[in-house]
Amino acid sequence: MYRISLDSIDNLFAAISAVEKLYIPADREDGQSYFTEWKEGVKLSDNLNTFRSAKGLFFPQVQDLVSFRTEGKKIEVIDTRKETEDFVVFGVRACDAASFGILDRVFLSDPVDSYYKTNRDHGTVMTLACNRPDETCFCTSFGIDPSDPAGDISCWKDKENLYLKSLTEKGEKLVYALKDLLTECDENAADTVKAEVKAVMNELPLSNLKPDDFTGEQLSVFNSEKWKELYRSCIGCGTCTFVCPTCQCYDIKDFNTGKGIERFRCWDSCMYSDFTMMASGTPRLTQLERFRQRFMHKLVYFPMNNDGVYGCVGCGRCLRKCPVSMNIVKVMKSLGGDAK
């Protein structure tokens, strides 16, 4: 394990940036933090979590897929991809780090999504343990430890120092490149920080929330009468899906530029009425059906097909951002008994 004084953290960022492009959580004028490319003058945010997760660095909200040029009956297919440069993302919380494992199960399973894989291959993840978990946090419900985040390099921060520990070959390579700035320290140097975080988590209002009632075998909850009441406040805005670090639905659009066709992939939401729209219509005609689909997928369908792994990491973004305060926690509490 290594450490560096927080007074020298900008020097650390400058050294990383000299080797690879670096993204850190930084505040914008609205007070929200976003993963932003580090340049001199960009400061690390003190916010618990970013408005959106680091998912967008691996699965962008809008992505250019391919172009087509036509000349008479001749069609030319143009691969618009370029070799992605290596990059580092610093400050990923444990919940968001766990979300990468969920996305990997989707995009790295056959057939492998080569766009996502390229970004994963080139990205190095530096996680940062939480210091001040929020009342909306419930990552421990899904077995995630916010005091000990996974990543290529795990980091902890106290009032004076940043501690770093490499966990993968990528992490070791980066730490080696930074060794002149780092001081080797005891492997237990971050234990106090870990203990403080765990103590806070145990006191949070959602600390006892468990998804145990929901398993891939409990499809009976699909027919619960409670869905009829739960969905009524939902306005179908899709905010929950766009701030969620594990949502992976997307649409593909073609645009006529006048000189050819540009094909893009963009995030989509199962909460929208035109989601999966086909010539014959849409399979979910009502907001109730769309609302139920979102939470059944997180709590039942995904674990059913992924060795019991839930499609939620308890980051709390949907709790903080939903304009009508309808979220997965309320669904879990309401339907827990029906899922048994």
Buried b (16+ CB within 10 A) or exposed e, 111-133: eebebbeebbebbbbbbbbbbeb
Name the percent of the chain lying above pLDDT 90.
80
Mean pLDDT lowest among 106-115, 127-136, 218-227, 318-327: 218-227
Q: What is the pLDDT of residues 55-94, one digit of tens each?
A: 999 999 999 999 998 887 888 998 887 778 999 999 999 9
Query: What is the mean pLDDT of the segment spanning 194-200?
Result: 93
Measuring CA to CA, which residue among 270, 227, 223 is closest to residue 247?
A: 270
pLDDT band per the 50, 70, 90 thresholds, residue 275: confident
Name residue, tokens 């899709």. Answer: 238
Query: What is the model's pLDDT at position 340?
Result: 62
- Phi/psi at 72 (nearest 5 deg)? 65, -125
Q: Are 329 and 261 in contact (CB under 8 A)?
A: no
Query: What is the mean pLDDT of the segment spanning 214-223?
Result: 77
Give CA–CA dist 142/98, Å, rounded: 10
DSSP reduced 3-state for 156: strand
Q: Are 322 and 238 in contact (CB under 8 A)?
A: no
Mean pLDDT lowest among 5-14, 34-43, 275-284: 275-284
Q: Please check the confidence at residue 29 and state whether its pLDDT lies above 80.
A: yes
298 burial class (0-12, 13-18, 19+ CB within 10 angstroms)? buried
- State the DSSP string of 80-134: ---PPPPEEEEEE-HHHHHHHHHHHHHHSSSSP-HHHHHHHHHEEEEEE--SS--
Query: What is the model's pLDDT at position 75?
Result: 86
DSSP reduced 3-state for 172: helix
Q: Please check the confidence at residue 218 and state whether its pLDDT lies above 70.
A: no
DSSP reduced 3-state for 16: helix
Alpha carbon of 34 to those of 23, 41, 128, 289: distances in Å?
A: 9, 15, 15, 32
Give CA–CA dist 169/63, Å, rounded: 29
Query: What is the mean pLDDT of the segment spanning 280-289?
Result: 83
Task: Give the tokens for residue 270.
Answer: 């199962």
- State the DSSP string of 239-256: HHHHH-SS---EEEEEEE
Q: What is the pLDDT of residues 120-145, one digit of tens each?
A: 999 999 999 998 899 999 999 999 99
pTM: 0.91
Query: What is the model's pLDDT at position 308?
Result: 92
Indicate the pairing of strand 74-79 with strand 62-71: antiparallel
Query: What is the mean pLDDT of the segment spanning 299-317?
Result: 94
Task: Give the tokens for residue 304.
Answer: 């059913």
Name the percent of the chain lying above pLDDT 70.
98
**DSSP symbol at 223:** G
Query: What is the model's pLDDT at position 82?
Result: 78
